[in-house]
Amino acid sequence: MPEFTPTPADHFTFGLWTVGNVGRDPFGEPTRKPLGAPYIVQKLAELGAYGVNLHDNDLVPIDAGAAERDRIVSEFKAALSDHGLKVPMATTNLFTDPAFKDGAFTSADARVRAYALQKTMLSMDLGHELGAEVYDFWGGREGTEVDAGGKLLDSLAWFRDSLNFLAEYSASQNYNYKFVLEPKPNEPRGDIFFPTAGSMLGFIATLDKPEQFGVNPEFAHDTMAGLNFAHAVAQVIDAGKLFHIDLNDQKMGRFDQDLRFGAENIKTAFMLVKLLEDTGYGGMKHFDAHALRTEDEAGVWAFAKGCMRTYLMLKEKARQFNEDSEIQAALKAYTVNDAELEALSKFSPENAQVLKARSFDRAMLGTRGPGLEHLDQLTIDLLLGMR
């Protein structure tokens, strides 16, 4: 049996906030003690992760003075260098503090919007100091419960202005961040703006420097809304915008569960890993999840190991899928090629006329069985270790 032990070459990352999650929920107090950032760095390195990501306040408390900030950051940097861990991505906490309760960049209060810019610039400074090349925007509070305030169109403009400002700031500091926008349909807001990957793609095209912006899709976010995450990721890849990905799991239609990767929807997880591997995705695979609230610290590390192990097992299954002759024969049978009709389907006025005049055997087309039951069962057999 292969070991499925991760190495830094696998580019697996975790957030300080993921393995550091203390198990608080809306109905219950924390069940675990906070873990220090240098200790998290040491443990993740031991487990074979490549890096650790952070929000500004995962590392530096929001009310820390300059001296305290510098001490915390230098201890963290020492741990990174001692254990060889990178910080590939950074982001801003624009959701915990009550100042952001009705939005940050989309607050109706201009003072809050300006404070959000200030906080993000300082956080971008921190991320750059730690070596981050990707900067994430998850708009946790960018949404509404009440639309009577009338800010739907204004919010889009304010968000656009803020991102344009921050892209200019990045350039002016020579940070050259790649920015990623992370969609989520709801939670903590009743409705969050830009709920899907597609809505983010549409919005990116309206920015001043669209080439600097990509999408950071998350498995749980699409699954909460009943969407197929592999489909969302395919659209982001097609647009050339998959700069980062958040991996976890989730039962459809529930609260935001942030389950261990592969814990729930194993077939979609497989299709996702196959998509990432087949297309040569080269970015970070970030596990944005946390151990169950029931767990102690040992459970936290079991969770982290499990995320990476499941990814590597699914990667191996994807390799087997691609090399399995019966599966490949079923795939070949599924796709029908027709060189003449494919040539005619490229537009020219002549092709359009020929195609309009062509007669098709509609009844025959409707009776063809594509063999998807067979192909799907082969996939299940493979995933269950029967092939």
Would you tell me which residues interact with ligand XLS (CB under 6 A)?
Answer: 55, 91, 136, 138, 182, 184, 218, 246, 256, 288
Query: What residues contact 386, with CB distance under 8 A and at least 6 apart?
Result: none
On whether the CB atoms of residues 268 and 250 are closer than 8 A, the answer is no
Question: Residue 142 binds which entry of Mg ion, ligand XLS, none, with Cβ cut-offs from 5 to 8 Å by kind?
Answer: none
Q: Which of 55, 221, 286, 290 is catalytic?
A: 55
The rounded distance, in Å, linking the Cα atoms of 68 and 127 is: 17
Instruction: Supply the angle between the helices 266-278 and 372-383 in degrees, to the nearest 10.
Output: 90
On whether the CB atoms of residues 330 and 379 are closer than 8 A, the answer is no
Nearer to ligand XLS, 13 or 379 (CB): 13
Q: How far is the CB of 258 from Mg ion (least distance, A)?
A: 6
* Token pair belonging to 161: 């202005």
55 is catalytic: yes
Question: Residue 324 binds which entry of ligand XLS, Mg ion, none, with Cβ cut-offs from 5 to 8 Å by kind?
Answer: none
Q: Name the residue with tokens 């592969």.
A: 262
Nearer to ligand XLS, 254 or 332 (CB): 254
CB atoms within 10 A of CB 216: 30
Q: Which of residues 126-185 bind Mg ion (CB under 5 A)?
A: none
CA torsion through residues 142, 135, 5, 303, sign:
negative
381 is catalytic: no
Pinpoint the alpha helices (H) of 103-194. Answer: 110-129, 152-172
Nearer to ligand XLS, 142 or 288 (CB): 288
Nearer to ligand XLS, 102 or 182 (CB): 182
Q: Name the residue with tokens 């700031």.
A: 169
Among residues 288, 291, 312, 327, the one that binds Mg ion under rule CB under 5 A: 288
On whether the CB atoms of residues 36 and 27 are closer than 8 A, the answer is no
Nearer to ligand XLS, 16 or 383 (CB): 16
Q: How far is the CB of 249 from ligand XLS (least distance, A)?
A: 13
Q: Which of 11, 25, 56, 58 is catalytic?
A: 58
Q: How far is the CB of 288 from ligand XLS (least distance, A)?
A: 5
Binding residues with Mg ion: total (CB under 5 A): 3
What backbone torsions phi and psi does residue 286 show, to the nearest 5 degrees? -100, 120
Q: Which of residues 204-263 bind Mg ion (CB under 5 A)?
A: 218, 246
Summarize as ranges the residues that interact with Mg ion (CB under 5 A). 218, 246, 288
Which residue numbers are catalytic?
A: 55, 58
